[in-house]
Every structure is written in structure tokens, then in C-alpha cells.
Amino acid sequence: MRATHDVLIAGAGPVGLFLACELRLAGASVLVLEKAGDSRSPLKRPPFGLRGLTMLSIEAFRRHGLLDAIAAPTTGAQAAAHWANQSRRPGGHFAGIQFHLDQVDRSAWPKPSPGSPNPPLAVELERVEHVLAERAEALGAEIIRGVGVEDVEQAEDGVSVLAGGARHAAAWLVGCDGGRSVVRRAVGFAFTGSEPEFTGYSVQVELADPAGLRPGRHHGPAGMYTFAPPGVIAMVEFDGGAHHRGEPITTGDVEAVLHRVSGVEVTVTALSQATTWTDRAFQATAYRRGRVLLAGDAAHIHSPLGGQGLNLGLGDAEDLGWKLAATVRGDSPADLLDTYEGERRPAGAAVLDWSRAQVALMRPDQGTRALAAVVRELIETRDGTTYVASRVWGMDLLHN
């Protein structure tokens, strides 16, 4: 097999692009194939495209000289955040139980590098992708958009993929092509975990009477909802994930689900943005098969509760990048690449269990609500807040 590149990356999301940067910095030639022709999307902008960066991600971007560009203020981003009008700044939540920055004890944690902000740092997903794509191409990575991987053939000396009717060959292939990864399925990676308990909805609407809904997070008979006036709503309905990726969401759907989870009758006069998600939590049983590896959502999926998915994937890319580049150069120990799975798979499993624990505390029954009240009291203590913050922000990984 005649390889034209050292590494082929399927997927030009943040994980694939950051991996491309890492590989090019270490001298490996890189080709990135992305199915979508246009990386821009309203769902990657506020209010739904906001993500929180952990300390590890902040420091990684700082080392690459990318932090200032990624963290540049975005018009409307802060106003769109659900905490914008609160008197105390939240640092995140566990199962909808909010914790606040002024309650976190950071004294035992490593200090940020000079000039680096403390986590969580709110960034816009579209900006992250744009900055990473620019850097990857400036470093010499080739990115082809509108061409997705359709099939994979693996040989002893390399990998070949079919994409857009053409064959591309490389010494190594990394699947960064999301939760429905073609690479993962084509190569036969086992993907196991727990099926969803709920359908989550993120919608931007106009309401006939916004005052009919209480701002903030609230539990109801079938789930929970979060309302940020005048019209940003997140809802969770415990229906086994039945309505995820189904028919297009209508104003009537939003009204019906909101009534079931809140008990409030509302009238939606316009629907401008809508997407669904679930708490399905699956992970690849291996991160490498021969010359094919997985990273990001291709290796692990979970609910977006707590906002840890982006950071987990960036951690995969940073760890894999230098190890794969050293393997390409031939100056690494024979087992170096195997340590990628050994280090990153446990990190992924921990995030999946953290997600599952939140789901268990959100179920709409009396026993769960009683347990949630106890957990809320614990989280509201300084030690409790600090523990939850350390997990949500990835600070616990700095001590492992």
C-alpha cells in the first residue's frame, strides 16, 4: 500500500483539528477528511454553542499560542449564557444542582500559568473550530471538506479509505468522526454501554407569555426544564430517548413536552432553533485496532450534562498526538502507542459514569427527589462544591 500521508484523520471537529495540529508540530504529514462541506452552524454559536474549557484544555491551548484567539469575546455570548442575570456566578452543575464559583476552594489546586484564566472558560464552539482549522492548515495539514469516509481497508503497512469516490492511503488512520463514527463501524470496534433514559431538547423560541415560565432549572412530573428568558429552553423528558433523531421538532412538540415536564400550559409562537440529545453512554472496548485508532466522540459518547465532552476529546487528541507522531518517526518504544488507550480509556469511563450518576439523580420519582435534596445539601458545603468542581473541571485528573 502506497501511503500519501503519515496520518489520515476522519473528522474536522475540534478533536480532529487539534490532533492535526499536534501531529504537524511533531513533523507528521496529515490529511483531514470532513463529511460536512461547511463547518458553520447556528448550533455552534450562542446560546447552544457555548462550551466550558477545563484547566487542562486551557493550558493546552495556551501552550499552542491559541488561547487568546479561542477565548476572544463573542458578541452576545455572555448575554446568552443562562447565568448572565444571576447575582452569583455559577461554576457548573451536577444533575441540575448548581454550584457557585465563590464557594470553590482552589487553594490545593495547581495555579494557572500566568495570563491563563481559571476554569470554567466559556468559549464558542464555532470559534474553536475556526481557530484550530486555521492553525492546522498554517502548519501544513491538508483539510478536504465535503468528503466523508465511506469504507476502510487495513493492511499490515497502512490503511486505505474510500471517500467521495476516491481512495486515500496513509500509514495510520484516526477516527474523530463523532458518535456515529463510520471508521469505528467499518473497522469493527466493539461499542458498549447503557441505553438512554431520556430525550433532551434545546430550543430557542418565542412565547406568547414568557412570564408563565419560571426562569432557572425546575423539576416536574416527567423530567426537568431550564428556562433563560425570553426564549431559550432546555428540557429533559424521561421517555427512553424515544424522540431523539425522529421527526423535525415543531412548535406543537415543544408545547407538549414542556407541558409534560413543567405542568405549565404555554403557547409557542415561533421556533428558530431546535435540537435533541440523549443520555446514551457508550464507549469503545478498545481505542486501537492495528493501524486504526479512535478519539473523541468516536471513542465515547455520553449526555452533555456538565459539559465535559469537548474537554475529554481534546485530552484524547493531545495524548495521542505526540505518541502517534513519535511512532511515525520510529523513535518511540514499541509499546508507546498502546499507552494511549491505557491512559485515555479510564478517563473516558470516569466521565461516562459521572454522566450516568447525574441521570440517576434526575429521575422524576419521589425517592430520587429525596436523594437529590440530600446531595444538594452536600454540594452546598464548601467541601462539596470543591469536590464537584474538581470533577466537572477536570482538576482531579491533575492529581492522577
The string of pLDDT tens digits covering residues 336-382 is: 999 999 999 999 999 999 999 999 999 999 999 999 999 999 999 99
- Helices 309-329, 14-25: axis angle to 10 degrees equals 30
Burial of 13 (0-12, 13-18, 19+ CB in 10 A): buried
Q: Which letter does DSSP use for residue 155 in this model? A: E
User: According to the model, what pLDDT value does residue 92 have?
Assistant: 87
User: According to the model, what pLDDT value does residue 296 have?
Assistant: 98
CB 19 within 8 A of CB 184: no
What domains appear along the chain, each with residue ranges and CATH number?
5-88+103-193+282-365+394-399 (3.50.50.60), 199-278 (3.30.70.2450)
- Helices 382-392, 366-379: axis angle to 10 degrees equals 100
306, pLDDT greater than 90: no
User: According to the model, what pLDDT value does residue 79 have?
Assistant: 45
Task: Give the model confidence (pLDDT) of 94-146 as tens digits.
Answer: 998 999 999 999 988 888 788 778 778 889 999 999 999 999 999 999 999 99
How large is the greatest C-alpha to C-alpha distance in the chain, in angstroms? 65
Task: Give the model confidence (pLDDT) of 253-287 as tens digits.
Answer: 999 999 999 998 999 999 999 999 999 999 999 99
Burial of 101 (0-12, 13-18, 19+ CB in 10 A): middle
Q: Which of residues 400 and 97 earns the better pLDDT score?
A: 97
Instruction: Look at residue 222 and give its three-state secondary structure.
Output: coil
Distances (CA, A) of 119 to 57, 67, 104, 116: 9, 13, 11, 9
Please give the full DSSP string across 75-137, using - where no structure is assigned: TTHHHHSTTTT-SS-EEEEETTEEEEGGG---TTSPPPPTTPPPSPEEEEHHHHHHHHHHHHH
Q: Are strands 142-145 and 30-34 parallel, antiparallel or unpaired?
A: parallel
pTM listed for this prediction: 0.94
CB neighbours of residue 67 within 10 Å: 23
Distance CA 344, CA 174 (A): 15
42-46, 294-298, 373-377: the lowest-pLDDT one: 42-46
Distance CA 107, CA 101 (A): 13
What rounded mean pLDDT belongs to the chain? 92
How confident is residue 84, by pLDDT bands cut at 50, 70 and 90? low
Distance CA 358, CA 307 (A): 12
CB 322 within 8 A of CB 331: no
CB 175 within 8 A of CB 292: yes
Residue 210, C-beta contacts closer than 8 angstroms, at least 6 positions apart: 229, 230, 231
CB 15 within 8 A of CB 317: yes
Cell (9 digits) for 224: 426537568
Distance CA 159, CA 175 (A): 12
User: Of 95, 100, 126, 41, whose CA–CA distance to 226 is shortest?
Assistant: 95
Distances (CA, A) of 381 to 28, 97, 103, 220, 354: 49, 13, 8, 26, 20
